[in-house]
Chains A and B, each alone.
Chain A
Amino acid sequence: MPSPSGGIRPMPELKRLLPRFIAPLLVLAALVLGPAPGALAQSVGDTLAKFATDRFPDTARGVEEIARSGHPTALEIVEALGENRLAYSQADRSVYVIGKDDQVRSAETGAPVADIAPNQLRRVRINNPVRSAIAAALGALRLNSADPVQRRAAAEAIMQAHDADQAPALEAALGREKDARVATAISQALAALRIVDTKQPESVRLAAIDTLAERGDREALVMLRNVPAEAPAAIRQRAERAAAAVERRLSILGGVQNVFFGLSLGSVLLLAAIGLAITFGVMGIINMAHGEMVMLGAYTTFAVQEFLRTSAPGLFDWSLLFALPLAFLVAGGVGIGIERTIIRFLYGRPLETLLATWGVSLALQQAVRTIFGSSNREVGNPAFMTGSFDLFGISLTWSRMWIVVFTIAVFAFLLFVIRYTDYGLRMRAVVQNRAMAGSVGIRTNWIDALTFGLGSGIAGIAGVALSQIDNVSPNLGQGYIIDSFMVVVFGGVGSLWGTLVAALTLGIANKLLEPLAGAVLGKILILVFIILFIQKRPRGLFAQKGRTAES
């Protein structure tokens, strides 16, 4: 086992450089020489042997040496190591690259080896310091890649690795770079190196500060703060001013980002609460099993994904599309079942309804636990819902973004159904005056069942969305039930728009409070606020007026 002290101790002169940069820095220091003309003929046997010792410091050194060697398979070896496809034979310690197609090839020559199967070999293990070394090595090896995306990533890697010796390579790359975005990345990486390069004339260093200030993100801020104290006063001051400007910009962006976080939390709350706004808000049923409808939707997503994984893996990215109608039907069906068998006998008896639906929620949880097991189930994110993207310097995650869009769509759909469909009309009629609706020929008890089914079905499709950001476990629903009631009561019972405003208000308020007060205190403050608000306006934000309010 490698000992943790097996790493490199920072030399005094390196101490002001950041320790996180030291491992990649050594790799890059080695790389600056570039492929020497005679290197191709050189034997890399000793270097490759370092990959077969099963010690992390050796492996990191191996990465550094193989990248420096200019060996034709160097890039392939480093890439394979990063993807856990580099292996060695325990018998003779020779190193092999295992292709993505499981084809074993010699690491030294790249020639296919026919008589060895991948499972006879031991994979070379990597840890975080080795990963850093790989990233730095790839940065240098890929700077001349044909793919602009790789070149840009390479420039970023060099910028993070922060090594002055890499400057000539960057300058050369900048000279021949035609892609504007890659050129910007390279010039920023170059600027990061020039700021601390005492051999550069002052004007160049000042220009470098401006380049980084223009970049204006956290990475740039780190570089600007790194200007050593012994630098000339002009440079130091310009760097400090630039850092302050970047910080101001970041704090404004941070505020905007918090509002987006709030919107995103608000739309999750809305999604969870909107079904309840129908069952509780419109029908007046205190449905404690509402959270379990959300859970059923999430488990439906899991089941759909499992099915697609085994029978049609190509359709995996569409799994959520298949899951939506199914989740609606499953949760809606269970909802109608509960309404027909339990709730309809309890209309007008809120306390009994509360207890009965609470019992139903426990039964549903335990049923799911028995069928699917008590541990979390893995629901994958389709490709379009993974990762994040940059919008004017704010980094937004795709999953949250799509949930916001999805919530708006569900809300619009629900408004449409209630306002413009025949069923919606009947539902409003029953809610406003049951006796009158009945006497004009509306089957009120069927409308009740369908409305409860609609609310439950909406909760089910909320579960599809929530499965993307939360646990899929039998307890999924419990986490949302209190929040959902809070939103509906705060917004005003019976008002969909009230639910919307309440969810977004609570979401944004929560996210603005969280950085100031912490997550625990923030939540408490929100609760206290709602209690006070309900004291003042017991009917919530959008109180129902007129005759219907009394019923």
Chain B
Amino acid sequence: MRFTRRRFLGTTAAVAGMALAAPSIRAQGAPVKVGVLHSLSGTMAISETTLKDVMLMLIEEQNKKGGIMGRKLEAAVVDPASNWPLFAEKARELISTQKVAATFGCWTSVSRKSVLPVFEELNSILFYPVQYEGEESSKNVFYTGAAPNQQAIPAVDYLMSSEKVQRWVLAGTDYVYPRTTNRILEAYLKLKGVKPEDIMINYTPFGHSDWQTIVRQIKAFGSAGKKTAVVSTINGDANVPFYKELGNQGVAAKDIPVVAFSVGEEELAGIDTKPLVGHLAAWNYFMSVDAPENKDFIKKWQAFIKNPKRVTNDPMEAHVIGFNMWVKAVEKAGTFDAEAVIDAMVGVSVPNLTGGFSTMMPNHHITKPVLIGEIQADGQINTVWQTSGLVVGDEWSDYLEGSKDLISDWRKPMSCGNFNIKTGKCGGKA
């Protein structure tokens, strides 16, 4: 079902009318609204528009299967325009005015932090599909993207063991996700015996476009006689000029590999990847994964978007998993009521697109395989290594002072996002 204005107005009017007339009738056949809270304009539109389209596709498919418990679904799409305070306003609008049963949305951590109080206050559900820095657990948020231990730590392990890296450049954009991830990585590397002088940390502003100096610094740092790698948490648009400069200055992957946590197939679509072959990316899904579920998903996606060249990426898979989990949890709970669905979510298990299953854990994070891939000349990323089993998302890092004592378990009777195992109390760091 494509979303037309007439239909939208029609259904809204109908729903409003019925709601006024008799609340009980609503439960019979009126569509259930699903909130889609992704920026369709502004700087983040580049990444988030795709996720909105995925949600429309998933909802359309679910409706073809007859909806959930006989009720059709309807997407309530809003545009928070890459404006963090607007995210909170739009979230409030979705929950209070549009009465959505659940919301799928946000990309940046700052947008998630902005809507978090709204979802907690109005007790609604948010599915967050992007890899993030951890150090958070909310009763109302389900984190379907990777926590640092599902992306960063395995990537570093791979470089250490397979490429024998001894010297590390941690390069990131200057905001909360790279800073926290790099703090975790620095602690982890030191634990593994890497000396402080073998770690170089570098932050750049958002949208940094002149990488000449930094690439030269990386080259100089890499010529100290030890195998060097760059761990990149550089975000968004800054990646294209960074990779172009790497290619132009001749930093080849076999000499100084760069492993990126924010670069996927979508980002690579804007670059000539031939000079980048061999640089790495760590995710929980690649478009190139050879699994029937994935082949099927790519086919449906390209048909839906009417473009046989459109790529898929990791946050899209996260929304697929999140949506299917929500459908299952609603069916398990037998109601769309947020409180009941939140309780039903834990333990729900659905197929992911890499040929396995992902399960929602009590800390509201999911289990995922971790894949390390190398960038190919055609812009795809081919898996070169993957964890033998599934990795459980760890919201409170084991490598940071303070957080390592915390656990999160939203099952009753504990129902706590930051239980301190040292003090035995719910309430965070001692």
Contact = CB atoms under 8 A, between A and B. Distances in A.
Shortest 8 CB-CB distances between A and B: which pairs? A376-B270, A19-B164, A20-B227, A4-B161, A4-B162, A218-B223, A397-B248, A261-B212
Contacts of B157: 4
B217 A470 contact: no
A514 interface: yes
Given A381-B272, A399-B248, A471-B240, A219 B223 contact: yes
Contacts of B247: 386
Query: What does DSSP make chain A's interface, helix, strand, loop or mixed?
Result: helix
A479 B207 CA distance: 7
Query: Number of contact residues on B: which range applies?
Result: 35 or more
B377 interface: yes
Contact of A20 (B41, B158, B164, B377): B164
A337 to B, nearest CB: 22
B295 interface: no
Contacts of B46: 374-376, 473-475
Interface string B380-424: 001111101000000000000000000000000000000000000
A376 B210 contact: no
Interface stretch (A34-42, A198-206, A404-412, A515-523): A515-523
Contacts of B216: 254, 257, 261
Given A472-B270, A520-B203, A128 B278 contact: yes
Interface in A477-516: 478-479, 510-511, 514-515
6 contacts: A373-B49, A375-B49, A387-B250, A399-B244, A514-B214, A519-B214
Contacts of A1: 383, 385-386, 388
A376 B271 contact: yes
A18 B226 CA distance: 6
A3 interface: yes
A84 to B, nearest CB: 7
A518 B202 CA distance: 7
B225 A4 contact: no
A127 B278 contact: yes
A5 interface: yes
B406 to A, nearest CB: 29
Contacts, number: 180
Nearest to B385: A4
Contacts of A369: 41, 45
A5 B386 CA distance: 12
Interface string A426-465: 0000000000000000000000000000000000000000
B343 interface: no
Given A222-B223, A386-B248, A519 B269 contact: no
B240 A376 contact: yes
Given A84-B377, A261-B212, A469-B209, A475 B237 contact: yes
A40 to B, nearest CB: 31
Interface string A256-285: 011001001100100000000000000000
Contacts of A386: 247-248, 275
B245 A470 contact: no
Contacts of B50: 375
B374 A380 contact: no
A352 B385 CA distance: 58
A314 interface: no
B155 to A, nearest CB: 10
Interface in B158-193: 158, 160-164, 166, 174
A1 B42 CA distance: 41
Contacts of B223: 218-219, 221-222
Contacts of B374: 127-128
A344 interface: no
Contacts of A398: 248
A475 B46 CA distance: 9
A459 B43 CA distance: 21
Contacts of B161: 4-5, 7
A7 B162 contact: yes
Nearest to B379: A378
Given A1-B388, A128-B257, A375-B49, 14 more contacts: A4-B161, A4-B385, A56-B384, A218-B220, A221-B223, A386-B248, A388-B250, A397-B245, A399-B248, A400-B248, A471-B240, A473-B270, A479-B207, A520-B203
B241 interface: yes
A324 to B, nearest CB: 20
Nearest to A56: B384
A19 B241 contact: no
A470 B211 CA distance: 10
Interface string B121-150: 000000000000000000000000000000
Nearest to A475: B43
A424 interface: no
Nearest to A132: B254
Interface string A372-403: 01111110110000111000000101111000
Interface string B219-253: 11001111100000000010011001101111001
B208 interface: yes
B24 interface: no
Contacts of B269: 375-376, 378
A222 B267 contact: no
A519 B218 CA distance: 14
B205 A366 contact: no
A225 B225 contact: yes
Nearest to B225: A222
A365 to B, nearest CB: 8
Nearest to B163: A128
A515 B217 contact: yes
A519 B385 contact: no
Nearest to B46: A374
Contacts of B40: 374
A18 B227 contact: yes
Nearest to B376: A84
Interface in A222-256: 222, 225-226, 250, 254
A381 to B, nearest CB: 7
A61 interface: no
A469 B240 CA distance: 8
Contact of B253 (A20, A131, A365): A131
A6 B245 CA distance: 33
Nearest to A513: B213
Contact of B270 (A132, A226, A471): A471
Contact of A520 (B41, B174, B253): B174
B253 A128 contact: yes
Contact of B254 (A131, A471, A474): A131
Nearest to B48: A374
A164 to B, nearest CB: 17
Contacts of A22: 164
Nearest to B202: A518
A511 B213 contact: yes
B225 A226 contact: yes
Contacts of A127: 162, 278, 374, 384
Contacts of A5: 161-162
A296 interface: no
A11 to B, nearest CB: 13
Nearest to B250: A388
Contacts of B237: 376, 471, 473, 475, 479
A348 to B, nearest CB: 32
A158 to B, nearest CB: 15
A377 B250 CA distance: 23
Nearest to B157: A4
Output the residue of A10, A19, A56, A375 with the most chain B CB within 10 A. Answer: A375
Contacts of A400: 212, 248
A129 interface: yes
Interface string A352-380: 00000000000001100100011111101
B333 to A, nearest CB: 36
B219 A377 contact: no
B198 interface: no
B278 A131 contact: yes
Contacts of A510: 210
A125 interface: yes
